[in-house]
A and B are shown apart, each in its own frame.
Chain A
Amino acid sequence: MEIRKISDNVWEIPREGEMKVPAVIYASARLLEAVKRDMTLMQARNVACLPGILRKSYTMPDAHQGYGFPIGGVAAFDLDEGIISPGGVGYDINCGVRLLGSNFTEKDIEGKRRELLAEIFKEVPAGVGKGGVTKLNRNVLKDILAEGASWAVGNGYGTPEDLERTEEQGRMRDADASGVSERALERGIPQLGTLGAGNHFLEIQKVTDIFDRETAETFGVHSKGQILVMIHCGSRGLGHQVATDYIEMMTDKCGIQGLPDRELVNAPFRSPLGQRYYRAMCAAVNYAFANRQMIAHWVREVFARVLGTSEGMRQVYDVCHNVAKVETHVIDGEERRVCIHRKGATRSFGPGRREIPAAYRDVGQPVIIPGSMGTASFLLAGTPGAEDLSFSSTAHGAGRVMSRHEAMRRFRGEKIRDDLSRQGVELKFTSWRGVAEEAAAAYKDVDEVVRVSHEIGLSRLVAKVAPVGVMKG
């Protein structure tokens, strides 16, 4: 496969064979070496062959191989000629990140850190097979699928301002729960309000660097040492089941002939099945928004109990990084509605977009990029330039470079905990093996991912944070 260097951080696989458009890879030379070792580039090329794809098949700096589409893949499709694909969204629909601000400093929580984390660990169910504390019936679940985070706010979890500061205001209005199977509902009922396991986490963080003071202040980040809380999780078993169900249905209805990978299965966006998937996916997106809304509320309750107040714990923002949406983008100078897939990629709208909360409209959308366990995370802002570069998309995290199996063999959970403890990071978890699997060394260097995203202009750096307390599922 030919890979052409366009500039220092931009590479292109030129159009050839079945490709309808070229594939563009945003990566430093070092990050490119990592993606060459797995199937990422072939997967980006495969996406470029799908019907109705517009402009280019994009790959973000944190890309690694996924199923069908690469993780870190961005592709927009024409609404009439194009497709929608569960493999372009990912199994964990609306896996995403929420960031809460606070008026607390590192000093304020000194001596209370362990207690805070222990209390959060009690309030927020986490780990494999861990059920929620919320009693749900099928009808309530259907309301949640229709209303997302606004259901949660309506039921006492958080404030209306949280909704303003959430992508899609915490609710995709195209959701239709009737396309969500019984199996998916059954998996969703016990898991609402739970963090889950795998790479999902909840962190108490402190601000270590501010790169753009004005934007940071607009986002509610005002000083070094300020305490923030980051929540990373998704739609749990419900979202996975929606993906599984529609991959099956599309395989049956649309076939897999000519697809190099069965996970690329898709349906025309306008077809009944394409629309059914889109609406069921929106319902799963809403479940995940409600999930993070509830967890954020419990975190505030713990802070209020332990520190006397949770005032000032305003939400910075909540982003989804596994999703398909209908958005307006400029293609060849013309505004068009397209179906954009972001799989392991974060929306990065620049200033002026009406989808951004009014308070942020002058500076661009907050972009939250979590690091791996125990490493830094970043707050960035969307850029005007990202529109042309990537349909306003940027990286979503560090991206794995090592298998869970290898990480488990190479690292010991106990050692990781001790190392983190020496760095001043408190760790609470449910499984030693889970800790080893999520070792920072199993991931790409998030600093490099963010630096490259910033240099290319996919998003711009605002602030850097470091964990002081980590809770792992």
Chain B
Amino acid sequence: MEKYHILEHTADGKFQAFGATLEEAFGNAALAVASLMWDWRKVEANISYPVGVEGHDLKQLLVRFLGEIIFLFETKSFILGSIEELKISARTGRLGLRARFLGDSVSDRYELHGGVKAVTYHDMKIEKKAGRGYVIQAVVDM
């Protein structure tokens, strides 16, 4: 299955990410965001960061999860290559997400080609399609 697809948006970055499970779709959304900034396929797994976010609903959870990629990039010069152990859980009306980001530090080995600066709720969709798993759509500010 295709992991994600970059869509047209006048000012910024828009994508759809897919997954048989919600977790897979969230992970692919993270790769879509990374793809707007660098080629995640080329990033070696030399560093790892644990990630944990919470949200009232799936959209907030997604905004906060994807926000971690931007935050780690800007403050730790970390570039994401892959995601492991992604788990989404629900507890008394609050959703939680835990995962491990694998990647590397910014260096001359990696070309950076765009800066994602914020994850928006604009035109955001998180849907379960009958027989096709989950589809996530989001727009990020560049």
Contacts and interface: CB of A to CB of B under 8 A. Distances in A.
A284 interface: no
B141 A434 contact: no
B6 A405 contact: yes
A237 B70 contact: yes
Contacts of A431: 111-114
B135 interface: no
B11 A66 contact: yes
A251 B60 contact: yes
Contacts of B120: 67, 91, 263
B75 A186 contact: yes
Given A67-B139, A129-B74, A433-B114, A402 B10 contact: yes
A113 interface: no
A197 B141 CA distance: 12
Contacts of A204: none
Interface in A196-246: 196-198, 237, 240-241, 243-244
Interface in A128-187: 128-129, 131, 183, 186-187
Contact of A91 (B13, B56, B63, B141): B141
Contact of A128 (B7, B12, B114): B114
Nearest to A238: B74
A191 B114 contact: no
Interface-central residue, A71, A247, A252, by most chain B CB under 10 Å: A247
A39 to B, nearest CB: 9
A240 B114 CA distance: 16
Contacts of A196: 115
A362 interface: no
A403 B117 CA distance: 16
B122 A261 contact: yes
A187 B124 contact: no
Nearest to B15: A405
Nearest to B120: A67
Given A92-B117, A198-B142, A128 B13 contact: no
Nearest to B124: A262
Interface residues of A, number: 47
B95 interface: no
Contacts of B56: 251-252
B71 interface: yes
A400 B11 contact: yes
A261 B74 CA distance: 28
Interface centre among A38, A131, A237 (most CB of B within 10 A): A237
Contact of B73 (A92, A129, A247, A405): A129
B65 to A, nearest CB: 13
Contacts of A91: 117-118, 120, 141
B81 interface: no
> Which of A189, A198, A243, A437 has the most B CB atoms < 10 Å from its CB?
A198
A263 B122 contact: yes
Contacts of B75: 186-187, 189-190
B124 A401 contact: no
Contacts of A437: 114
Contact of B8 (A237, A406, A432): A406
A433 B36 CA distance: 11
B77 interface: yes
Nearest to A344: B11
Given A129-B112, A262-B124, A64 B74 contact: no
Interface of A: 38, 64-68, 71, 91-92, 127-129, 131, 183, 186-187, 189-191, 196-198, 237, 240-241, 243-244, 247-248, 251-252, 261-263, 400-406, 430-434, 437
5 contacts: A187-B71, A244-B63, A262-B122, A404-B13, A405-B9
Ordered nearest first, which 3 A-B pairs have the shortest CB separation?
A262-B121, A67-B122, A433-B113
